[in-house]
Amino acid sequence: MSCAHSSCIVVLGMHRSGTSALTRHLIEMGFELPGEPLPPHPVDNPEGYWEPKELILTNHRVLDQIGDGWKATNQIAAEAFKHPAAITGQKKIREILADALNSGDQIIIKDPRLCRLFPLYHPILVDLFSRILLIQVIRNPEDVARSLAYRSTIPDIAPGAITDPDHARMLWLRYHLDALQWLELEPIHTIRYDAWLEDQNSEAEKLWNLVRHRFPDAALQQPSPQIRAPRFGTKEIGQSNQETYSAMFTARCFQQLSAGSPDWDGGFADKAFKLSVPQSGQGEASSPSQDLIAAAQWNHASTLLSAAEVSPGAAIGREQIVFVSNRPQIPCHIYRVKNMVDTLNKHGIAATWLRSEQALAEPRTLRDARLVVVHRSFWDTSIEALYQRCHELGIPTISDIDDLIFDEALIDRGEIEFIAGLDGAAVAGWRDKVKAFRKTLFAADFSVVSTQAIADHLTANGQPAACIPNGYGDVAARLSEHWRQQFQSAGEQRRVVYASGSPTHDSDFAIVVQPLVEFLGRHLDWTLSLVGNLDMERFPELAAHPRVECRPLVPHTNLHYEIARADINLIPLTRNRFNDAKSPLKWYEAALCGVPSIATNNPLYAELLAEDRGLLAVTGDDWAKGLDYLAASKERRDAIAECARQAANDRFGPRAIAEDWRNLLSKFVSHGWPKLC
pLDDT (average), residues 246-267: 78
42: preceding bond cis by omega (within 30 degrees)? no
In the structure, what pLDDT confidence band is assigned to residue 235 with cuts at 50, 70 and 90? very low
pLDDT at residue 263, rounded to an integer: 60
> 269 or 225, which is more confident?
225
Question: Rounded distance, CA 47 to CA 41, Å?
Answer: 8
Q: How far is residue 405 from each of residues 183, 433, 602, measured CA to CA in Å?
A: 47, 9, 19
In the structure, what pLDDT confidence band is assigned to residue 365 with cuts at 50, 70 and 90? confident
pLDDT at 327 over 60: yes
In the structure, what pLDDT confidence band is assigned to residue 256 with cuts at 50, 70 and 90? confident
pLDDT at residue 672, rounded to an integer: 66
pLDDT at 233 over 70: no
pLDDT at 674 over 90: no
All domains of the chain in start order, with CATH: 7-251 (3.40.50.300), 305-467 (3.40.50.2300), 474-652 (3.40.50.2000)
Tens digits of residue pLDDT in 414-427: 998 889 888 889 99
Which amino acid, residue 391? Answer: H
pLDDT at 503 over 70: no
pLDDT (average), residues 600-617: 97
pLDDT at 675 over 60: no
pLDDT at 234 over 50: no
pLDDT at residue 313, rounded to an integer: 61
pLDDT at 590 over 80: yes
Who's near 157: CB < 8 A, 6+ residues apart?
Answer: 41, 43, 44, 151
Bridge partners, residue 353, by sequence: 323
Tens digits of residue pLDDT in 444-478: 999 999 999 999 999 999 999 999 999 999 999 99
Nearest to 615 by CA among 496, 513, 491, 522: 496
| Window from 229-238, 240-249, 256-265, 371-380 with minimum mean pLDDT | 229-238
Is there a contact between 172 and 59 (Cβ–Cβ < 8 Å)? no
Strand ranges in 422-545 using DSSP code E only, listed in sequence order: 446-449, 465-467, 495-501, 527-532
pLDDT at 316 over 50: yes
DSSP string, 602-637: -HHHHHHTTTTT-EEESSHHHHHHHHHHHHT-HHHH
Q: What percent of the chain has pLDDT over 90?
A: 79
pLDDT at residue 155, rounded to an integer: 93
pLDDT (average), residues 359-382: 89
pLDDT at 7 over 70: yes
pLDDT at 480 over 70: yes
pLDDT (average), residues 574-596: 97
Q: What percent of the chain has pLDDT over 70?
A: 93
pLDDT (average), residues 384-409: 95
pLDDT at residue 147, rounded to an integer: 93
pTM of the model: 0.92
pLDDT at 550 over 70: yes
pLDDT (average), residues 62-90: 95
> 262 or 151, which is more confident?
151
In the structure, what pLDDT confidence band is assigned to residue 184 with cuts at 50, 70 and 90? confident
pLDDT at 497 over 60: yes
DSSP string, 211-280: HHHH-TTS----PPP-PPPPS--HHHH----TTSHHHHHHHHHHHHHHTT-TTTTTTHHHHHS---SS-T
Q: How far is residue 666 from each of residues 142, 338, 458, 676, measured CA to CA in Å?
A: 39, 22, 21, 8
Question: Rounded distance, CA 158 to CA 154, Å?
Answer: 6
pLDDT at 433 over 80: yes
Question: Rounded distance, CA 530 to CA 501, Å?
Answer: 10
pLDDT at 262 over 60: no
pLDDT at residue 572, rounded to an integer: 98
pLDDT at residue 326, rounded to an integer: 94
Is there a contact between 193 and 138 (Cβ–Cβ < 8 Å)? yes
pLDDT (average), residues 151-174: 95
| Window from 281-290, 497-506, 547-556 with minimum mean pLDDT | 497-506
Question: Rounded distance, CA 172 to CA 181, Å?
Answer: 15
Nearest to 130 by CA among 59, 62, 217, 246: 217
pLDDT at residue 247, rounded to an integer: 92
Question: Rg for the chain (alpha carbons), in Å?
Answer: 29
